[in-house]
Amino acid sequence: MTRSEIEQKLIDIVRQEKHDLPDEKLTPQTTFADAGIDSLDALTILFAIEENFKISIPDDRARAMKTLGDMIDAVEALLPSVT
Amino acid sequence: MTRVAVTGLGIISPFGRGHDAALAALRSGRSGIRLITSFDTSELQCKIGGQVPAEAHEGQQRGFDRFTRLGLIAAEDAARQANYAAIDVEPDRIGVLVGTGMGGCETLDASYRRIYKESLTRVAPTTIAYSMYNAATSAISTKYQAKGVSYAVVSACSSSAHAIGLAYQAIASGQADAMIAGGADAPLTFGSFRAWESMRVLAIDNEHPERACRPFSADRKGLVLAEGAAVFVLESFDHALRRKQPIIGEIVGFGATSDAGHITDPSIDGAARAMRMALRDAGTIDYINAHGTATQANDVTETKAIKEVFGEKAHAIPVSSTKSMHGHAMGASGAIEMACSLLALNAGFLPPTINLDSPDPACDLDYVPNQAREARAGVFLSNSFGFGGMNAVVAVRTAVAADLLT
């Protein structure tokens, strides 16, 4: 799975949790605060990511995340078969 | 002591959402008990319950557990009637007390299913926040920016009656100027049904759901589980008058006792003491909305308790169990029953006890059998007697009473 495929899938997941987010807010640079993603939203999104990608994100890594890009990085690092 | 007015009433129940849906069912004695469709009952013995009709609530609230979503809907309707935005006091003078007996059953059921049935290792991160008993209180407090005394009240089937009584005391004692109070419960889940089936107190009549719940009847078989929410806006009488808000009722008494007896067997003494305590402030009454669960134990015990409190006069007081129509919504039932009583009495009739064709000889009061009855009732008691021996009785003056009409 390429990075842009991961990004697209991640955006789909975020959109499921936060229906009202405009497209311009859905970029790797967007911080959770900018996107109106509170701590419980972020946990729910991480949970959906883990289910979707069948990975397990360690707590330390999860706590350090500030942007959607951080989530993409984590998925990329943890996916067993990234090309 | 500050007098406490009721200015808003929201109800969502097996009758549907709103005053008209409840009034229509109560007036015609129509049951809201039906075959459950909200989850798969194929493996269960009992397939019936007081389910809130899907069209009354689905898609109207996002997130949270089902009990919180129902609570939010009831709060929304109560706030609208009370013209809540016009309550002109500091936010920390308004509190929220919501009773629930079973909390976030939907959420816990879903997470247990994942862990134990599907052998998954993770559950939704919202599991704790959605299943906790004060989730509905929190959601309502946030939505209405009520920043005063707020907590969940838990006493099994008496939870919301305690919540309303405590909200009454908070205003009466000057702790708050207005309160949002009531109850919400949504126990129609697979796990909860298994637990209730095991107690052998469910009335199981899958062929005739509307006939299953038969309070005070000789052939009663037990309770019917239900879900729903009812929420009231209470405020000081002076405040309601000053802002010219129509007053639909007044809380005039509250009694709360513990049996200190058995964890599930009710006691005559505990129930009687709670009624006496509520009457100390209320004086005489014209109607009792019974706890009336249709279990063997409750109906006889409650009848004896009423006779102990009122003596010979007990036979002259109409007593009905609206649970015969809406079922037993656990911690929400006290609020739902107070809402049903206030709506019906303000509309000039007593709600009936349906399915009462052959009364138990040990239950010999006037239970308003099968048909609503035209009446002018000034003050009523709403009885709630919970497992654990926790009893709560709220006394309410209706808008029919002369001094509320001014």
pLDDT at A82 over 60: no
- Compute the nearest-CA separation of A51 from chain B (Å): 9
pLDDT at B60: 85
Residue B291 among the catalytic residues: yes
Q: What is the mean pLDDT of residues B10-31?
A: 98
Answering whether pTM is above 0.80, one says yes
CA B318-B323-B324 angle, to 5 degrees, is 80
What percent of chain B stands above pLDDT 90?
95
Q: What per-residue confidence (pLDDT) applies to B403?
A: 59
Q: Is B353 helix (H, G, I), strand (E, B) or coil?
A: strand
> What average pLDDT does chain A have?
89
- Per the annotation, the verdict on B57 as an active-site residue is no
Q: Mean pLDDT score of chain B, rounded to an integer?
A: 96
* Nearest of B134, B104, B123, B259 to residue A50 by alpha carbon: B123
CB contact under 8 A, B125 and A51: no
Q: Output the CA torsion sign for B118, B119, B121, B126.
A: positive
- Report how far residue B85's alpha carbon sits from residue B245's, in angstroms, rounded to the nearest whole number: 12
Q: A37, A44, A55: best mutation site toward chain B, by most B Cβ within 10 Å?
A: A44
pLDDT at B62: 83
What CA–CA distance (Å, rounded) separates B12 from B22? 8
Asked whether the beta carbons of residue A43 and residue B125 sit closer than 8 angstroms, the reply is: yes
From residue B257, give the alpha-carbon distance in Å to each of B321, B328, B389.
Answer: 21, 21, 8
Whether residue B404 is predicted with pLDDT greater than 70 in this model: the reply is: no
pLDDT in tens, B76-105: 999 999 999 999 999 999 999 999 999 999
Give the pLDDT mean for B340-362: 97
ipTM of this predicted structure: 0.78
Q: pLDDT, tens digit, for every residue of B26-77?
A: 999 999 999 999 999 999 999 999 999 999 998 888 899 999 999 999 999 9
Mean pLDDT value of segment B371-378: 96
Question: Contact, B131 vs B103, CB < 8 A?
Answer: yes
B residues 90-129 near A, CB within 8 Å?
122, 124-126, 129
What whole-number distance in Å separates Cα of residue B316 and Cα of residue B311? Answer: 10
Residues 6+ apart with CB under 8 A from B150: B95, B96, B97, B137, B138, B141
Residue A17, pLDDT score: 84
| Cα B191 → chain centroid | 22
Q: What is the pLDDT of residue B152?
A: 98
| Of the listed ranges A57-61, B12-16, B212-216, B284-288, the one predicted with least confidence | A57-61
Q: Is A73 helix (H, G, I), strand (E, B) or coil?
A: helix
Q: What pLDDT shows up at residue A22?
A: 85
Q: Is the pLDDT of residue B402 over 60?
A: no
From residue B131, give the alpha-carbon distance in Å to each of B104, B140, B230, B359.
4, 15, 19, 40
pLDDT at B401 over 90: no
B122 CB neighbours in chain A (<8 A) are 47, 50-51
Region B339-367: what's the mean pLDDT?
97
Where does residue B116 rank: exposed (0-12), middle (13-18), buried (19+ CB within 10 A)? Answer: exposed
Kindly tell me if the per-residue pLDDT of B378 is higher than 90. yes
CA-wise closest residue to A40 among B138, B38, B115? B138
Confidence of residue B320 (pLDDT cuts 50, 70, 90): very high
The residue of chain A with its CA nearest to that of B63 is A17
The predicted structure's pLDDT at residue B406: 46
Task: Region of B327 please: left (phi>0), alpha (psi -120 to 50) or beta.
Answer: left
Nearest Cα residue to B136 out of B124, B146, B151: B151
Contact B125 A50 (CB under 8 A): no
What pLDDT is recorded for position A83? 52
**A38 closest CA partner among A58, A18, A24, A61:** A18
Q: Residue B284 burial by CB count (10 A; 0-12/13-18/19+): exposed, middle or buried?
A: exposed
Query: Within chain B, what is the greatest distance between any pair of CA atoms?
Result: 63
Q: Which residues are CB-neighbours of B139 under 8 A, at least 6 positions away? A: B64, B68, B71, B72
Taking only the tens place, the pLDDT of each residue in B240-266 is 999 999 999 999 999 999 999 999 999
Residue A55's pLDDT is 93
The fraction of chain B above a pLDDT of 70, given in percent, is: 99
Estimate the crossing angle of helix B190-199 against helix B105-112, to 10 degrees.
100
What pLDDT, in 10s, does the model give residues B166-224? 999 999 999 999 999 999 999 999 999 999 999 999 999 999 999 999 999 999 999 99
How many angstroms separate the CA of residue B126 from the nearest CA in chain A?
A: 7
B315 is annotated as an active-site residue? no
User: What is the pLDDT averaged over residues B130-149?
Assistant: 98
CB B68 within 8 A of CB B184: yes
